[in-house]
Amino acid sequence: MTGTKETGAEWPTYGVLAACYIGWGAACLWHGALGWWFVPVAGYFITLHSSLQHEALHGHPTRDARVNEALVFPALGVFVPYRVFKRTHLRHHCDAQLTDPYDDPESAYLAQKDWDALSVPMRWVLEVNRTLFGRLLVGPALSIRSSLVQDITAMRGGCAFTRGAWIAHGIGLTITLGFAFGVAGLPPLLYLAAAYAGYSLLMLRTFAEHQATEVVGERTAIVEAEGPLAFAFLNNNLHAVHHAHPRAPWYALPALYRRDREAVLAGNGAYRFAGYRALVGRYALRAKERAVHPFLRRG
């Protein structure tokens, strides 16, 4: 791993945290001047905050998980409790189980038997979700629905962890919405639209970052994006590098990729895109793959 030392202060992350909260707060306070531009502007900062939560659960910017959680505690994204995200995402980092419909909690695939049990309209929605524009439109709703169903089921079954995660999330929501509604005077539907837009931008990042292949190393993509999108994702578009170096801070990933580019692309079977424009051009209205996992079809 390159970048800062494990014991050093990760000042770039502190700087992004400050910029994220200042930008989000300014957008809320000036929503009247922004009009409907508030939705993409605030949505961008909500996406950035989710990327900062991703950094926090991987141990940044400090080595104290409680401090990291406190730094990203306000629930800007509304829909997913941080502690639930942390638990499921760390399970996702078992590369041998990537894309497995049951063992990878972030898999976008279904097992054949689960597909067969769906209604025809739901199958159609899931097929639409396999296109890029479909993912941006319906992907957040599908993900939120699935997460809520799982969490409600867990809490009904007496899961103390999930209940505690939602209590903490409720406190974080109180901070966020108290400022947005009480201080900034935002209309609730306008903020919910921004939160959905932020989730939709995350769907752009996750759309192609994993594929179902027999070779484990070839399941994780590289998207060579730069500029505002790479910043919003905190370089997690270099996803194969992140999976190879999950403890590396976000600002170390580009240097790691430049140093080992040939080895990374050899290891992931050249599963690479030149940028998100290339993804849009290829998959805007065309399904990248079917929703059913091509070889893990459990009975």
pLDDT in tens, the chain (299 residues): 333 344 478 999 999 999 999 999 999 999 999 999 999 999 999 999 999 999 999 999 999 999 999 999 999 999 999 999 999 999 999 999 999 999 999 999 999 999 999 999 999 999 999 999 999 999 999 999 999 999 999 999 999 999 999 999 999 999 999 999 999 999 999 999 999 999 999 999 999 999 999 999 999 999 999 899 999 999 999 999 999 999 999 999 999 999 999 999 999 999 999 999 999 999 999 999 999 999 986 55
Give the Cα separation of 128 and 54 in Å (integer): 27
What's the pTM value of the predicted model, to 2 decimals? 0.95
Asked whether residue 96 is assigned to any structural domain, the reply reads yes
Name, in order, each residue with C-beta under 8 angstroms of 71's C-beta and a sequence gap of 6 or more. Answer: 17, 52, 56, 61
Number of domains in the chain: 1
Give the Cα separation of 157 and 155 in Å (integer): 5
Asked whether residue 264 is assigned to any structural domain, the reply reads no
Asked whether residue 292 is assigned to any structural domain, the reply reads no
Peptide bond into 61 cis (omega under 30): yes
Asked whether residue 163 is assigned to any structural domain, the reply reads yes
Degrees, nearest 5: CA angle 207-220-65: 90
Per the structure, the complete domain to which residue 45 belongs is given by 11-214
Query: How many helices (H) and strands (E) in the chain?
Result: 14, 2
Asked whether residue 90 is assigned to any structural domain, the reply reads yes
Asked whether residue 180 is assigned to any structural domain, the reply reads yes
Asked whether residue 158 is assigned to any structural domain, the reply reads yes
273: β partners: 223
Asked whether residue 83 is assigned to any structural domain, the reply reads yes
3-state helix, strand, coil in the chain (%, to 5): 65, 5, 35
